[in-house]
Copies of this chain bind each other. A is one copy, B any other.
Amino acid sequence: MSLNQVLEALSRNLTAGGLLTAPDDIKPYVSDWTKTAGTAMAVALPRSTAEVVSVVKACRDAKVPIVPSGGRTGLAGGAVGTPGCLVLSTTRLNRLGEVDIVGRSVYAEAGVVTQTLHEHVHAHDLEWPIDLAAKGSSTVGGNLSTNAGGVAVIRYGMTRKWVTGLQAVTIDGDVLELNGELEKNNTGYDLVQLLVGSEGTLAIITGATLKLTRRPRHLCTLLLAVRNFTAVPDLFVESRHLAYDIQAFEFFSNRCLTSVKEKLGRKCRLTVEAPFYVLIELEGEDAYRLQASVEEWVAPLMTQGLVLDGMIGSSSEERKEIWGLREGITESLALSGRVRKYDVSVPVRHAVEFIDDVKRTIDDQKPVFDLYLFGHLADGSPHLNLLKHPHASMEQFEADGERFEKVLYAILKSHGGSVSAEHGVGLLKKNWLTYSRSATELRLYRSIKHAFDPHNLLNPGKVVDV
């Protein structure tokens, strides 16, 4: 089939405006937040699962690779368009079902924006607890395809825990209706869990039945200054004695705090300057008792010297002020210059040694960047951000970054860590996969990929090469 014939076939099967072929129209769809250069022969915007099926069949018959595309907020290049591909955008698959308050679930098409979903279920006093910075643009389908994490993983886990059923289209155009609303269905291999996190390489997710939970009651947010990094996991162990559920347990270095204060003009009410800060959010039944318990818990930790200073935010303004310090870090660094980011994970009990190893490497290598350390301690996923020294050249920065990266991945491997905690593999982490996965695992990945997509047409070149 010629290219024109393929485009004609596609266009015939899509409702008006469903096929973009002009370079300017295609451009916004071929990359993600990494700004990796991408390309595509066209972009399809199906309005229904039936339209997805017809697009997939046309591509399969013509051997055109398909790159599924959601909100394109990915950070691993998973949605980057590859030469000759068709980008299949879920933007117009954006229907939301009624909230089922008996079964506590809701059906959402893949293109529904995360925040739209949140607002939809909040109206029924329920929560879909996947909370991430990109929620204003990211989609349900993208969250599922990448098994998104976020700030509430310590309490709720990753996206894969909040889905019961999937609708997905195979490369043959079969519509899989997997599991629906069932919480319990032990009849064979869990294809829902296999598709979650598969980054569009096995089938195209077109909709999902999402599990909901009750909204948190009273929240209380603590900001604690601690004497060193070791105190961060120590404090986490101490937090076990609190009779409350921990909603978040985040940390950041003084360097990160300084950046937020200087670049974004935000204020921190703590009077003591410390090497590290910990943000803990707790949920309780009663605001007054929650605050009293927290004060009682912190007092001896201050006497012991584990905590140097602290503040408790109970009102939504105070809580917002504390979160603003943690959530402003990425923006403040972006304003400061070129940054390399590493989204890694290690077992929580290795966190201190891992950070020691990282710091030692930087001391040894004397690179032209500074380390900005923050992230999710309780999930074992610190974010390492490397900020270029103001006067260093880009060339030197990238060279030093690559030199550091090689050692970083070896350190990670030695601690049983992962090269991608949250962001997935996509295009950009593929070469480092052997640091997190064994040869046997990769062989099984290829067999599974072959079972679903024998001609390698679904997001080819992503996750694993066949």
CB < 8 Å: which of B149, B153, B176, B464 contacts A188?
B464
Contact status B160-A347, CB under 8 Å: no
When C-beta atoms are compared, the residue in chain B nearest to A344 turns out to be B184
Interface residue ranges of A100-132 to B (CB < 8 Å) = 100-104, 125
When C-beta atoms are compared, the residue in chain B nearest to A103 turns out to be B348
Count this chain's copies in the assembly.
2
Contact status B349-A425, CB under 8 Å: no
CB < 8 Å: which of B176, B178, B184, B196 contacts A422?
B184
Contact status B451-A448, CB under 8 Å: yes
0/1 per residue, A133-167, Cβ < 8 Å to B? 00000000000001101000100011011000000
Contact status A160-B190, CB under 8 Å: yes
Given contacts A103-B380, A448-B189, contact A181 B347 (CB under 8 A): yes
Contact status B193-A194, CB under 8 Å: yes
Contact status B425-A187, CB under 8 Å: yes
When C-beta atoms are compared, the residue in chain B nearest to A463 turns out to be B188
Given contacts A180-B416, A436-B187, contact A349 B103 (CB under 8 A): yes
Contact status A444-B452, CB under 8 Å: yes
CA distance A239 to B187 in the complex (A): 30
User: For A433, what are the chain B residues with a Cβ–Cβ distance below 8 Å?
Assistant: 187-188
- A174 on interface, CB distance cutoff 8 Å: yes
CA distance A102 to B233 in the complex (A): 7
CA distance A272 to B420 in the complex (A): 59
Contact status B451-A188, CB under 8 Å: no
Contact status A184-B149, CB under 8 Å: yes
Given contacts A157-B161, A285-B244, A347-B181, contact A147 B186 (CB under 8 A): yes
Contact status B188-A445, CB under 8 Å: yes
Given contacts A183-B380, A217-B243, contact A445 B102 (CB under 8 A): no
The 7 A-B residue pairs whose C-beta atoms are closest, nearest first, are: A447-B451, A193-B193, A181-B347, A103-B348, A185-B418, A184-B421, A102-B349
15 pairs, CB–CB < 8 Å, chain A vs chain B = A102-B349, A147-B186, A153-B184, A158-B183, A180-B347, A181-B380, A185-B345, A185-B418, A186-B423, A187-B437, A189-B202, A190-B193, A285-B289, A444-B451, A451-B451
